[in-house]
Amino acid sequence: MTKEETKQVGRLFKKLFILLVLLFVFDRIIGTFLENAYKTAPQGDIKTFTHSITNPSEDIFIYGSSRAVHAYDPAIFTDSLGLSCFNCGRENSNILYHTAILKEMLKKHTPEIVVLDISAKELTWRAAENSKLVLASMILPYVRNDTSFKNIAEHLFPDELRKAEVSKIYAYNSLVLSLAVGKRKIKHDKNLNGYVPLHGNKIQGKLPSFTDENDKTDILTTQNFEEFVRTLKEKNIRLYVIQSPLLVQHFKSTISLDTIKSILNRYNEPFWDYGFDTAFAKKQYFYDNLHLNTTGATLFSAKLVSDIKADVKKNQP
Amino acid sequence: MLFNSLEFVGFFLIVTSLFFILPHKYRWLLLLLSSCYFYMAFIPIYILVLAFTIVVDYFAGILIEKSAGAKRKWFLRMSIVANISILSFFKYFNFFNDNISFLLKLFHFTNPVSNLSGFALPIGLSFHTFQAMSYTIEVYHGNQKAERKFGIYALYVMFYPQLVAGPIERPQNMIHQFYEPKKFEYNRVVAGLKIILWGFFKKLVIADRLSIYVNAVFNNPSHHSGKTFFIATFFFWLQIYCDFSGYSDIAIGTAKVMGYNLMENFHRPMFGGSITNFWNRWHLSLYSWFRDYVFTPLAKTARRNRTKLLAYVVIVFLLSGLWHGANWTYVMWGGFTGLSIVAERIYRDKVKPQKYISRLWMKILGTIITFFITGTAGMFFRANSVKDIFHISKSIITMKPGALFKGSPPINFYYYLLVALTLLSVEFCQEYLPQVKLLNSKHLVLRYTGYVLILMIILMIGVFNGSQFIYFQF
């Protein structure tokens, strides 16, 4: 390298250094602003998540994917069972997500009943990958201060954790709009306790077929499911694992469902399958083929509550 | 090794630093070894496939140059056959075999040849095969001297910035550059870094963000409405553009930092104003390859026969479809694109719209129509099967009722709109308001605002799931 070139390299490093300092300053300023918005005015999914891990107090907790979010109305549980209830379901999540928040919740509170809504592809690799992304978006804001979340992140998405440790705003990746508009647009009404009703119906044409031909269960996800069941069993918390109604072509079982049933059998826990319950097999109860609308959710919640009531009665000493 | 990975950042810093530290005479070796490492980060064994192509074309080049007449042509043909054979074996064998099986089944016969299993497609095979072929063809035409230094020729095929997804270079543009001593020039290095930064923005913020929506819709075609498919088609158009041009930008920028100039691969195709101009601005290195090595020789045989010329346009695009992948969806895409160019040509010649419409309106309407036509072609490209193409087309044409899918959670839809709008605005300014500059502004404050803004947006809404560039599969 000539002297002139060395001089130019020095110039580049100087400019890069200035850029890095600017980046650091803006990262911390905007990051602090986002952190504040996240903690003080959480809305929608963030609100549900924050409630589940920071101040859980309800007697019944419902876990599951979007099928849980739209199908279980906590008000019906409370009215019928006389127990407070919260729906902490999350779109695109699976058992990886539920296990992480269950463990965090149990540090602060012990509910009486846990309802877990599972999907027919609950334990598959794809479901796990989506769930990891959802979980990452929810727990990265906590990893700087919460060791247990940091451990989960280290285990499930170490690369994301590194980035969040370096950049403060990265922890809020993809949450910026929710935080910016969240103050004005409330998706999760306070009274609905995590339940998001869907109105109307958009089903057209023939029922879609369902296949899991090429699916394999993901080992880590399966272990998490077992951990979820075992943790509740050890704490003597009643668990109901449910498949809520679907409106697709009938299928008998899937590799995920078979694995789930065998684990539940081992722990002597119930699996209630409403997937193709004829009482709900009507288009007017569904928003789309996988999600109940508000009419369907009301009926289904009432039916489930009545079954839980009967089960509790049956098992009373 | 993916450009959008932390490994690449480390690799780039190390290779570039060593490049400038080492004396000029060792730089080709550094680049060759680092290119081998870069390629072997995918599937190491496939370096042998690449090595075979390099050895064959290296000797073919020398033999072509040394011989004359029929022998010269024979060596060229042998080299092309060797290249096409490798491409066919890895890329098309199963496709053709499946179709033969299907045809035999119609006549109640069984295909005795089974599909090849256990072979993954070597990454970027179509790109480096075409680049290698352009070398022997140019030597044959006398436009390039056969390269005697094996390492330099190997580097021409393997130069890591453009090895796996182009731009597909020509020997006249590249080989002499490897002999030229490169100095560290501040302005050039910064210009290269800016191109890389914009490439990352396009990939991480626009392409990968939109891919979330596009995948959710195209992978579940039975669940969506006409308007959802329409929006997803529009988003896919932007996604593939940003994915591929983002890759090209990173490649061009990376090479530029070290002092090498790669050819431009995209020139704001959405503002071409006509279908023909669109393809003169999209994937320039591939379509100039097809133009120079397939269309022009065919056109010479057509002797100004218009019908033949137009038929050759369709043939070139059908071949281009097959180049993209061994699937009927790509062939349909190629056929549709070729026919749309032919239709536009005929319309312009017969109707002569320029007589009735002002240039401005021609440009505006041309841009909108081109957008719809190339968007439709994009849908053919993205659909998972021919059956899906028909289903999606029908859903859009009949505007199949149903709610607009906004993604999960629905607020994500606004990210998609935001990034789409950002791209359109930036490209509009670059095309029509070149005086509006941010990263290249003369004002220091504006320039730094641009850097910080882009980096902040990447951190805030970039998608960091390490997804592969779409064109890697070709």
The complex scores an ipTM of 0.80
The residues, ordered by sequence, that sit 6+ positions from B113 with a Cβ below 8 Å of its Cβ are B97, B100
pLDDT of residue A96: 87
pLDDT of residue A2: 84
User: Are both B176 and B216 inside the same structural domain?
Assistant: no
Is B419 within the bounds of a domain? yes
- Spatial separation of the C-alpha atoms in residues A97 and B182, rounded to whole Å: 52
Task: Name the domain count of chain B.
Answer: 2
- Spatial separation of the C-alpha atoms in residues A183 and A169, rounded to whole Å: 19
User: Are both B217 and B77 inside the same structural domain?
Assistant: no
Q: Is B433 on the interface with A (CB under 8 A)?
A: no
Q: Is the dihedral of CA A231, A233, A239, A241 positive or negative?
A: positive
User: Are both B271 and B176 inside the same structural domain?
Assistant: no
Output the pTM of the full model.
0.83
Closest Cα of chain A to B222: distance in Å?
7
pLDDT of residue A214: 67
Is B105 within the bounds of a domain? yes
Of B402, B456, B462, the CB nearest to A26: B456
* Residue (of A120, A124, A116) closest to A99 by Cα position: A116
* Residue (of B177, B473, B137) closest to B297 by Cα position: B137
| Enclosing domain of residue B28 | 6-114+122-182
What are the mean pLDDT values of chain B's consecutive 10-residue runs (474 residues total)? 84 95 93 94 88 94 92 93 91 85 86 77 88 95 93 95 89 94 94 96 93 88 87 94 93 96 93 91 93 92 86 93 87 92 91 85 90 90 88 89 79 89 92 89 92 94 71 58
pLDDT of residue A316: 73
Q: Is B452 on the interface with A (CB under 8 A)?
A: yes
Beta-bridged to residue A271, according to DSSP, are A241
User: Are both B328 and B434 inside the same structural domain?
Assistant: yes
Residue B441 · residue A137 · CB < 8 Å: no
Q: CATH assignment of A56-127+174-314, given 3.40.50.1110, 3.30.70.260, 3.40.50.150, 3.30.750.24?
A: 3.40.50.1110
User: Are both B174 and B212 inside the same structural domain?
Assistant: no
Helix H or strand E encompassing A9? helix A3-40
Chain A residues lying within 8 Å of B184, measured CB to CB: 1, 5, 8-9
CA atoms within a 13 Å half-sphere pointing along the CA-CB vector of A128? 18
Is B474 within the bounds of a domain? no
Of A5, A27, A176, the CB nearest to B183: A5
Residue ranges of alpha helices (H) inside A41-172 are: 44-54, 66-69, 74-81, 95-106, 125-139, 147-156, 158-166
User: Are both B366 and B382 inside the same structural domain?
Assistant: yes
* Residue (of B206, B212, B275, B273) closest to B241 by Cα position: B206
- Spatial separation of the C-alpha atoms in residues B87 and B79, rounded to whole Å: 13
pLDDT of residue B229: 94
User: Are both B51 and B72 inside the same structural domain?
Assistant: yes
Phi, psi at A271, each rounded to 5°: -125, 115
**Listed residues B165, B182, B199: the one ending a domain:** B182
Burial of residue B131, with CB atoms counted within 10 A of its CB: 0-12 exposed, 13-18 middle, 19 or more buried: buried
Of B6, B415, B459, the CB nearest to A170: B459
- Among chain A residues, the shortest Cα distance to B23 is held by A1
pLDDT of residue A190: 47
User: Are both B234 and B157 inside the same structural domain?
Assistant: no
A:50-79 residues touching chain B, CB 8 A cutoff: 66
User: Are both B195 and B170 inside the same structural domain?
Assistant: no
Residue B359 · residue B368 · CB < 8 Å: no
- Among chain A residues, the shortest Cα distance to B414 is held by A177
Angle at Cα B400 formed by Cα B398 and Cα B401, nearest 5°?
A: 130
The list of chain A residues with pLDDT below 50 reads: 186-191
pLDDT of residue A188: 46
User: Are both B229 and B353 inside the same structural domain?
Assistant: yes
**Among B12, B184, B392, the residue to mutate for chain A (most A Cβ within 10 A):** B184
Is B1 within the bounds of a domain? no
Contact criterion met (CB < 8 Å) for B189 and A181 = no
User: Are both B175 and B229 inside the same structural domain?
Assistant: no
pLDDT of residue B5: 81
Of A22, A181, A288, the CB nearest to B223: A288
pLDDT of residue A317: 65
